[in-house]
Amino acid sequence: MPLEDCRVPIIPVMNLKGGVAKTVTTVALAECFASHGHRVLLIDADHQCMAGELALGEERQLQCETRKRNFYDLLVRMLDDDFDSANLGRFVAECGSNIQGGLATLSVLPCSIRIDDIQTNVAKAKKGFKTTEEFQRIWGRRRRQMQAWMRSTFDFVLVDCPPSLAQQVKFLLSIADSFIIPTVPDRLSVRGSKYLMSRLSTLGYAVSGLGTLWTLYRQQNSMHKAMVAAAERQEPSLDRLPKPFRTIIPNATKIAEATDVDTPNTPASFSAKYTPQFARLFEDVCQEIVQRSHWQPATGEAVRAKVPKVQTT
């Protein structure tokens, strides 16, 4: 589906380089949209399960694992002949985030460590399934159901990805509209972004890059400054990267502290959680996402866009 026509962006946040702030950024953007009244689905597609833990806290994350309400168990259930898309919502935890004790419009599909070995686990659990091709064929039939559910239930779907093109990432890429690449403006992270772009093209994914998001930026690091400037000049060595967002997320202790899950607190607002200075930056990124994805609130649903910070142009 062309980006121009899409009302509900489904956006994986990915980079083949680890540690570039994919998880922290994805959770903050999900909280930002949700705290502005938008219905958001945050999918944790990483076996580390950190986005789920950041959004739900350790206890709820563990409950989701015990009760088999997570992305892994959803993918397994989808392989059953009698799978009914009306049950998709049962795998999702409501009211994610510690902001106000939970944001009413933030739904979370947490992950499970079992996703790490999905083929072996499923083959063991379900007799008759043996090959990747068999899984892909069935998920291929299911993906449109999942996409339809997402589009009818949420305003934004953000996916925290592992630093790899794991099975579950490929599944989501097949229904995604575009992706965001958080990148530290240094050589290795940029290389991870380039690897990702070339891998996606080799594998033939039609999904396009919504933008490169500079993260963990340090003003005093001359390499960071040079890399950002080179991208602005559209230097040929960087021209394969999606166009960087104007907003840059700095390396800031306050952002790291805000996501410290051992700190049991209930911030009164998104701004209180991240401090007004950094909350504003995440809001600016959300606004750029809205603009670049040509997102429109559905007719008669303007209440969801009630906070004017995230406006369409």
Residue-wise burial string across 76-115, b where 16 or more C-beta atoms lie within 10 A, e elsewhere: bbbbeeebeeeebeebbbebbbbbbebbebbbbbbbbebb
Is 183 a binding residue for Mg ion by CB under 5 A? The answer is no
Q: Give me the least distance between CB of 62 and ligand ATP, in Å please.
A: 19
20 forms part of the interface with ligand ATP (CB under 6 A): yes
Instruction: Please choose, out of 20-28, 62-70, 115-123, 150-158, the segment that lies near ligand ATP by the rule CB under 6 A.
Output: 20-28
215 contacts Mg ion (rule: CB under 5 A)? no
- Restricted to residues 244-283, the positions that interact with ligand ATP (CB under 6 A) are 249, 251-252, 255-256, 259
Q: Per CB under 6 A, does 19 bind ligand ATP? A: yes
User: Residue 243 gets which letter from DSSP?
Assistant: P
Tell me how far apart the alpha carbons of residues 177 and 172 are, in angstroms, rounded to a whole number.
Answer: 10
Q: Rounded to whole angstroms, how far apart are CA atoms 312 and 123?
A: 46
Stretch that binds Mg ion, among 17-25, 58-66, 226-234, 256-264 (CB under 5 A): 17-25
Dihedral Cα 175, 178, 180, 185, nearest 10 deg: 130
Instruction: Give residues with Cβ within 8 angstroms of 96, minimum separation 6.
Output: 30, 31, 34, 42, 55, 56, 102, 103, 106, 107, 108
What is the distance between the alpha carbons of residues 228 and 224, in angstroms, rounded to a whole number?
6
Counting contacts by CB under 6 A, is residue 34 touching ligand ATP?
Answer: no
Distance CA 89, CA 94 (A): 10
Which of 8, 14, 16, 21 contacts ligand ATP by CB under 6 A? 21
Contacting residue, 11, 17, 21, 22, with Mg ion by CB under 5 A: 22
Residue 246: both structure tokens together: 């104007």
The contact mask relative to ligand ATP for 140-179 (x = CB under 6 A, - = no) is -----------------------x----------------
Task: Find which of ligand ATP, Mg ion, none residue 21 binds, CB within 5 to 8 Å per kind.
Answer: ligand ATP
Which residues are bridge partners to 213 per DSSP? 182
User: Could you tell me the smallest distance in angstroms from the CB atom of residue 160 to Mg ion?
Assistant: 6
The residues of the shown chain that bind ligand ATP, judged by CB under 6 A, are: 18-24, 46, 48, 50, 163, 215-216, 249, 251-252, 255-256, 259
